[in-house]
A = this chain, B = another copy of it.
């Protein structure tokens, strides 16, 4: 038996190695694409042979799973930080909230693909890794409810709208800012429909920003 300090040190070291592997996986995904990730490449980057990774992860998908959980946890943290500094005007708050998600998804393509799409053929996130994702979604729903939008359908439409703009960005204008510029207009459109008050005395805009 090991005494407690040794057990802690070993556990720490194990966790550090896992983090190192996940970090290497992210680096390769950003350089070559999420699906191009191979165990041999990941192993080489941390100074191992491919089979050695199985001492730390049960499978390749388990690495994807750790990446998935990490990404959603980071987004959850960023959202919690954001919520402390939201404008009190409902429409402005909705815009900032939506832009936060949009920016996060647009900032890192492989991360967005892993978090929000199903581009890895066999991969499905574990319940533990999925947990922060459902927390974020439930929290967003609650926040929208607090703005006075009681319909779950209207919330679903907002999610679809922002998600659709993100997809269009990555498909048609990656690295550009065309769809970022459409985001406010799109959320205004939604806010008008669900009855959120206008941001300023002027009537809701019919065109994009002048």
Contacts and interface: CB of A to CB of B under 8 A. Distances in A.
Nearest to A168: B160
B121 A157 contact: no
A165 B171 CA distance: 17
Interface residues of A, number: 39
Specify how many copies of this chain sit in the oligomer. Answer: 2
A153 B192 contact: no
Interface stretch (A10-18, A76-84, A85-93, A181-189): A181-189
A151 interface: yes
B157 A167 contact: no
Contacts of A190: 189
A189 B157 contact: yes
Contacts of A159: 164, 168
Secondary structure dominating the interface of A: helix
A182 B157 contact: yes
A193 interface: yes
A141 interface: no
B188 A193 contact: yes
Given A35-B121, A151-B207, A189-B189, A167 B168 contact: no
Interface string A56-68: 0000000000000
Contacts of A47: none
A161 interface: yes
Contact of A179 (B33, B156, B189, B194): B156
